[in-house]
Amino acid sequence: MSQILYDKALVQYGKPIGTLLLMVGCIGSSHAATYKIEPNNSNVRFAIDHFKTSATTGGFYNVIGLLRYDPRAKTGDISLVIPINSLNTGNRAFNLKLMGPEFFDMERFPFARFESTKWHFTPDKENPKVTRVDGKLTLHGETHPISLLATKFDCYLTPTLKKSVCGGNFTTTIDRTKWNIKKYSVFGLTKNLTLNIQVEAAKQ
């Protein structure tokens, strides 16, 4: 993400992100830690079937945000800001089409946002694992609840950064028409959009 785009995201979403920094200390236990999302290792990839044959794939990159996580208290909180202009399908002309007014409408809605509302864990008391994260997705000017299935999530101490890093993969399928992205939904391009979210965050 360019510095200009990063600054624009902070201007548009600076208050929610700043508020999160102040509020996360109130959730969970005193052992909870704050992590900053690493844009170079965080993305939202998507796949959408067309004409019941192959799937069109692409992704949004340079995701920014904050993570708050305490496995012992089984608490978590995450806030992600997703720049629409980072969209990449491998086809420049198609990228511009998807970012245009018929689909994601980047000029009116330059960012998407996900904020978690509840984290779910396995019942294991010694080593609980994240199983699902519920939250709200704001996209194309609409906000609706979604649930992310955790396919993997863990934390480790990285020898290069010499700090704790948490990361994982999540997946969900949304009905894009709920977010008023309806183009071609009755002409072969399915309304169901599969999202695969990869996040990595370093402890602050």
Homologous superfamily, domain 3-203: Lipid/polyisoprenoid-binding, YceI-like (2.40.128.110)
pLDDT of residue 184: 63
Query: Consecutive sets of 10 residues in the chain, 204 residues long: mean pLDDT of each?
Result: 48 47 40 88 86 78 95 93 95 91 93 96 92 97 97 91 92 94 67 92 94
The string of DSSP letters for 78-139 reads EEEEEEGGG-B-S-HHHHHHHHSTTTT-TTT--EEEEEEEEEEE-S-SSS--EEEEEEEEEE
Q: What is the pTM of this model?
A: 0.82
pLDDT of residue 10: 52
Domain ranges of the chain: 3-203
pLDDT of residue 94: 87
pLDDT of residue 183: 75
